[in-house]
Amino acid sequence: MGYDIDLEDHIIEYLVKGGYPGLEAVDFETARDILMERFGLTLHKDIMRIFAVRNIKGLENMILRCAMQSSQLTNYYGFAKSIGIKYDTFMVYLGYLTDVFIVSESRFFSKSDSTFKKGKKLYLRDHATRNLLIGLMNRRLFEFKEEVGKTVETVVQDHACRLVYRLQRRMQCYYWRGKKEVDIVIRVGTVPVPIEVKYLRKIQHEKNIIYIPIKKVGRNEPCPCGSGKKYKKCCFLLLKNLPPKRVLNEDYHHYTTSEHIHRANSSDIILILENLTVLAFEAEGDGDASGAFGLFRILEPLAEQQGMSDKLLEKWGMICCDHSELGEDGLVIMRRLQSLYEDKDRLQWAYTIMDTANYLADMGKLNEGKKEYERIIEQMPDFLQAYIDYANFLGPVFTRAQYHFSINP
């Protein structure tokens, strides 16, 4: 019993103070002062001087927001707008912060490993610095369940990235969303390994753990949890009987509190939009892209009625760009998305065209895909990401530099 208490104290200390040398031997207040001084020096004398950052306040706000949202799915456009900086500036600063290992990204896990298909999670890599910036570098952290969850996931994600680097010399983690979310996914060779993060005061027995597969498992196949039973007689039964999901603020920005959503009438159109949108993504996660597409067709007139067509179209495009098997129907949605962004957001317009080009290539229409990339480069010659993606599109041997000099002799 004494060992359990001693171990719990060490875990609490680590979750609050982190692993900086010297902090383990001092109290929380002294550790906070030491870390504050070190982080201040890193930020102002290293990062801002090396990268010649002009908007100091913008970078500080960005780091603070990263700390507050660590482990959360993040919309980069909304993030940049919320701290009052341009999207291009945000992406430059994000590059600085990832280069010096202050911030890390987690992408949506997919076979194509595309960076633009779905949103990303941002993490402030050092969890103690996160606690410092949100004012909870003490035992009060454990009074806030949500903040403890963010801190614990930040710890696990950082250690998972380090493990992947040691194994494969690449530092990239993923997440996955289907019927349930898998917090962290790593690749070991070609095999995806899911990691679900839970912080418990006591370790529960294995029978309380539900295995959530990140790829489709046949009902009669062995259950991935290792029980030896068929999937349909094991974890599938638990997943099948999960309660129906009611969504809070699924990017429609209508419901702001749990009480509000539970008071909503079941025939509330926005509630229907939110829930069916999630069901569409769940259908996609289950491998039924055509079923997801059909749900969006049902939702389209409802979205028009509520003035939410643009938001719905953005989500519809997220489904289509990953599934060329939707054929011409999916291509129509991609074209509509291009028209939506053309005058509204030129950068997102360019990314959508690149997604369309890749979609066309997957359909076997390589030449049409090339024309899409050439259109971006003609209209946005300074957009370097287009050259990089076009080089990847043409093949790994044809580098961005070769292409750049071929059109600028």
The answer to whether 186 and 173 have CB atoms below 8 angstroms apart is yes
Over the stretch 25-41, which tens digit does the pLDDT of each residue have?
888 889 889 988 888 88
pLDDT, averaged across the chain:
77
Residue type, 342: E
Task: Say yes or no to pLDDT of 397 above 50.
Answer: no
Over the stretch 66-122, which tens digit does the pLDDT of each residue have?
998 898 888 888 888 888 888 888 999 998 898 888 999 988 887 655 444 567 889
Among 119-123, 164-168, 313-317, which is the least confidently predicted range? 164-168
Residue 242 binned pLDDT confidence (cut-offs 50, 70, 90): very low
pLDDT at 372: 92
Closest Cα partner for 323 from 369, 354, 362? 362
Task: Say yes or no to pLDDT of 1 above 90.
Answer: no
Q: What is the mean pLDDT of residues 49-65?
A: 86
Q: Which residue has the higher pLDDT, 137 or 277?
A: 137
pLDDT at 240: 52
Considering 237-241, 255-259, 260-264, 351-355, the range whose residues carry the highest mean pLDDT is 351-355
CB atoms within 10 A of CB 240: 9
- Which burial class, exposed, middle or buried, applies to 133 when counting CB atoms under 10 A from its CB (0-12, 13-18, 19+)? buried
The answer to whether 268 and 254 have CB atoms below 8 angstroms apart is no
The answer to whether 93 and 53 have CB atoms below 8 angstroms apart is yes
Q: What is the mean pLDDT of residues 277-303?
A: 79
CA 136 – CA 138 distance, rounded (Å):
5
Over the stretch 119-163, which tens digit does the pLDDT of each residue have?
788 999 999 999 998 888 888 888 888 888 889 999 999 999 888
Strand partners, 103: 124
pLDDT at 111: 61
Task: Say yes or no to pLDDT of 380 above 90.
Answer: no
Q: What is the mean pLDDT of residues 303-320?
A: 83
Task: Say yes or no to pLDDT of 344 above 70.
Answer: yes
Instruction: Give the three-class secondary structure for 181.
Output: strand
pLDDT at 400: 36
Among 68-72, 187-191, 300-304, which is the least confidently predicted range? 187-191
Considering 276-290, 359-373, 382-396, the range whose residues carry the highest mean pLDDT is 359-373
Backbone angles phi, psi at 327, to 5 degrees: 65, -140
Closest Cα partner for 307 from 351, 369, 254? 254
pLDDT at 149: 87
Q: What is the mean pLDDT of residues 286-312?
A: 81
The answer to whether 23 and 31 have CB atoms below 8 angstroms apart is yes
Length of the chain: 409
Report the percent of the chain where pLDDT is more than 70.
76
| E strands, 53-113, in order | 72-74, 103-108
Residue type, 93: Y
pLDDT at 332: 93
